[in-house]
Structure 1
Amino acid sequence: MKIKAVLAAAVATTIIAGPVAAQDKSDWPQSFTIGTASQGGTYFAYGSGWANYMAETLGISGGAEITGGPMQNMALVHTGDLNFGLTTMGPARESLEGNSPLAPGMAMDNVCAMFPMYQTPFSVTTLSSSGITSIADIPDGAKIGFGPAGSTSDTYFPKMMETLGVNFERRNGSWADLGTQLQDGLIDVVAFAAGIPIPAVSQLEVQTDVNIIGMTEEELKKITEAFPVAEFTIPASTYQSLDEPSTVVSMWNFAIANCDVSESLVYEMVKTTMENNDKMVSIHKAARTSVPENYTKNNVLPWHPGAARWFNENGYEIPADRIK
């Protein structure tokens, strides 16, 4: 039985292809699907827009599928249940090494990198009325929403909170649902890990007053020493609730493909994505860092041959031993 059958049910959003381009597509699938994450998060917005763009440009039917996020996408792409997906480097490493909680012991080594996306900042959001203005202010037993089960946030943020001495009750759900729960007073904090601006946070700002909380120098030191993350600054212009930049930590995201997907299809997708950043930014502002120079941020996954061909042709060296 394929992993897809035993994972959480997913909802597909299908996009109809545009005109067929004049090129050999004999080894292309009839359609493609990209695994994203829950609605209200950046993965869904970015992935849906990218699928639509690829369908319109390359003349192949495509769609985005709601999933549990990076860890589940690694599993679904590895088994071939999905052609493509979005993942974060931390969950990607755990999955590659056989440490995924979705399939313990299965080394998900049939997943290849396509192109860099953006960094996922880990940030905390509360209602202003809560009086919580720092991580240290979070009271014992606070109900904290960590996103969908198995997501990047759910995998790492609880451990980060424990490292910082926070005692909490764990809650899971889609980002949109957790934003509603926060607004309704059912939870105290949402620990977001998603590309910025996060749709659910932007929506919350419109409806109520929120605090977007960063980390102190001491907190940053503890977290960067203990986890595969780096310091990151959320610009004040990202959210109307920020009066100044917010310093947090982040982890890189990459688009991935099943390594057996057509080399020519992946080449055309990477070419279209990497050579049209203005279009990608129009899909989501986080795509400002979806540029070829950031290919070096992948130190985990092998490269798909189609992706590596485009990067090598354009002066971004990927050695043969890093290509699947």
Structure 2
Amino acid sequence: MIRTTTATATAIALALAATQAIAQDDTDRSDWPSTFVVGTASPGGTYAIYGQGVASVIGSALDIPTSTQQTQGPAQNLVLVNRDRVDLGLTTMGPAFEALNGELELDPGTEFENIRALFAMYVTPFQAAALEQSGITSVSEFDGKTVGTGPRAGTGGTYWARWFDALGLDVNVQNGPLGDQTSQLADGRLDAVATAAGLPLAAFTELEALAPTVIFSLSEEEIGQLQDSVPYAQTFEIPAETYSSLDEPVQTMAMWNIAFTDENMPESLAYEITKAIFENQEDLVSTHASARETLLENVGKNDLVPYHPGAVRYYREQGIEIPEGAMPEGME
């Protein structure tokens, strides 16, 4: 009886504390949504895991029922946010650049003028994997091979196909969920998988556990051929310790990722989401290691997509300077 009474008293105390905390929060929530959805990507990719961490932080910190929606990745997330199908999306800078300029393949001609960044996430390097027994160790050896590049609307699916053409490679490109494609690679149904994702990529780590694997990317010469066509990309080095099969760093290209919404998100909600992400960054890191780069010092990595005014308010409170290219119109 005593234990039951103590447990009940504890539950009541916790409930009262929660009620008092909400009462003390004078933020006007009248225009906030009753539920919240984060658009991520296919299983096996970093977005699916990182996005779950974002949803968990938002749901816990803001007391909003929050869920994730699996998508084809950055390009589809841009379309879904622009059409008010999800509340927050994740994208790389390449698709964001194309969306702003009316060049997104999923919605050509539409200029996504309403998208607004909330925070910079992490950098996404382009990377590829093949089974050691295949003898494939470079992108140039994809000529005449069947290569999975993840979902068609994903960053890997979008850019690898273009780059194979630019490099003069005849590649049979297959699209599909990344986790499925690494399983197909292990079974010998694909010659290689080439994608773009935050480090470490869970699908590649799982592949290493199934069979001896080679992980590689673009050569220095190939990077030189492609770099002028992707001004929103940067050269990058995948550290050797990222994967067990890597004996030395891998040179490649990479793009930064951002979490974004549209201009109609209430200013107070955008502020609170941004604040919650940075105040709970350790929780994000526990979800996926790539969140180690979700830092205030990296806000300036986005100099392309205008930040939401609510996010700008939080960054100014933290003394963070917003790049001119990412400052929303009407704010100085």
Q: TM-score, normalised by structure 1?
A: 0.90
Who is 1:301 aligned against?
Answer: 305
Per mean C-alpha deviation after superposition, the further-off stretch among 293-302 and 195-204 is 293-302
Who is 2:154 aligned against?
Answer: 151
Who is 2:265 aligned against?
Answer: 261
The structure 1 residue matched to 2:169, chosen from 161, 166, 171, is: 166
Matched residue of 1:221: which SS?
A: helix
Check the 8 A contact 1:33/1:83 in 2, yes or no. Answer: yes
Aligned length: 305
The structure 2 residue matched to 1:117, chosen from 115, 121, 127, is: 121
Query: In structure 1, what is the Cα distance between the partners aligned to 2:216 and 2:225?
Result: 17
Query: In structure 2, what is the Cα distance between the partners aligned to 1:29 and 1:78?
Result: 16
The structure 2 residue matched to 1:323, chosen from 311, 318, 328, is: 328
In the alignment, is residue 280 of structure 1 matched against residue 280 of structure 2? no
Instruction: Check 1:270–1:146 CA distance in 2 against 1; reply closer, same or farther (3 A cut).
Output: same
Check the 8 A contact 1:113/1:303 in 2, yes or no. Answer: yes
The structure 1 residue matched to 2:34, chosen from 14, 20, 30, is: 30
Matched residue of 1:118: which SS?
A: strand
RMSD, matched Cα: 1.6
Check the 8 A contact 2:53/2:283 in 1, yes or no. Answer: no
Who is 1:93 aligned against?
Answer: 97
For residue 164 of structure 1, report the CA deviation from its aligned partner: 2.6
Matched residue of 1:211: which SS?
A: strand
Instruction: Check 1:321–1:84 CA distance in 2 against 1; reply closer, same or farther (3 A cut).
Output: closer
Query: In structure 1, what is the Cα distance between the partners aligned to 2:79 and 2:293?
Result: 26
Per mean C-alpha deviation after superposition, the further-off stretch among 65-74 and 49-58 is 49-58
Deviation per residue, 1:244-297 (Å, 9 max, x gap): 111111011000012111211111111121233322211111111111111112
Who is 2:84 aligned against?
Answer: 80
For residue 136 of structure 1, report the CA deviation from its aligned partner: 2.5
Question: Within 5 Å, which residues of 2 pair with 1:42-57?
Answer: 42-57=46-61
For residue 313 of structure 1, report the CA deviation from its aligned partner: 1.3
Who is 2:224 aligned against?
Answer: 221
Check the 8 A contact 1:281/1:287 in 2, yes or no. Answer: yes
Q: Which amino acid aligns with 2:230?
A: F
Q: Which amino acid aligns with 1:160?
A: W
Instruction: Check 1:102–1:28 CA distance in 2 against 1; reply closer, same or farther (3 A cut).
Output: same
Query: In structure 2, what is the Cα distance between the partners aligned to 1:50 and 1:128?
Result: 36
Check the 8 A contact 2:305/2:326 in 1, yes or no. Answer: no
Check the 8 A contact 1:120/1:252 in 2, yes or no. Answer: yes
Instruction: Check 1:171–1:110 CA distance in 2 against 1; reply closer, same or farther (3 A cut).
Output: same
Decide which structure has greater helix share.
2
Q: TM-score, normalised by structure 2?
A: 0.88
Matched residue of 2:257: which SS?
A: strand
The structure 1 residue matched to 2:182, chosen from 171, 179, 183, is: 179
Sequence identity of aligned pairs in percent? 42
Query: In structure 1, what is the Cα distance between the partners aligned to 2:302 and 2:325?
Result: 15
Per mean C-alpha deviation after superposition, the further-off stretch among 89-98 and 275-284 is 275-284
Who is 1:6 aligned against?
Answer: none
Q: Which amino acid aligns with 2:317?
A: E
Query: In structure 2, what is the Cα distance between the partners aligned to 1:320 and 1:302?
Result: 7
Check the 8 A contact 1:113/1:304 in 2, yes or no. Answer: yes
Query: In structure 2, what is the Cα distance between the partners aligned to 1:241 and 1:208?
Result: 10
Matched residue of 1:120: which SS?
A: strand
Q: Which protein shows a greater Rg? A: 2
Q: Which amino acid aligns with 2:202?
A: P
Deviation per residue, 1:220-258 (Å, 9 max, x gap): 212223323211111111111111111111011000012
Query: In structure 2, what is the Cα distance between the partners aligned to 1:126 and 1:165?
Result: 20
Check the 8 A contact 2:302/2:326 in 1, yes or no. Answer: no
Check the 8 A contact 2:303/2:325 in 1, yes or no. Answer: no
Instruction: Check 1:136–1:105 CA distance in 2 against 1; reply closer, same or farther (3 A cut).
Output: closer
Query: In structure 2, what is the Cα distance between the partners aligned to 1:114 and 1:82?
Result: 15
Query: In structure 1, what is the Cα distance between the partners aligned to 2:110 and 2:225?
Result: 31
Who is 1:211 aligned against?
Answer: 214
Q: Which amino acid aligns with 2:58?
A: M
Q: Which amino acid aligns with 1:265?
A: L
Query: In structure 2, what is the Cα distance between the partners aligned to 1:68 and 1:124?
Result: 19
4+ residue runs over 4 A deviation: none
Check the 8 A contact 1:50/1:283 in 2, yes or no. Answer: no
Who is 1:69 aligned against?
Answer: 73
Query: In structure 2, what is the Cα distance between the partners aligned to 1:277 and 1:33?
Result: 20
Who is 2:45 aligned against?
Answer: 41
- Unaligned runs of 5+ residues in structure 1 are 1-18
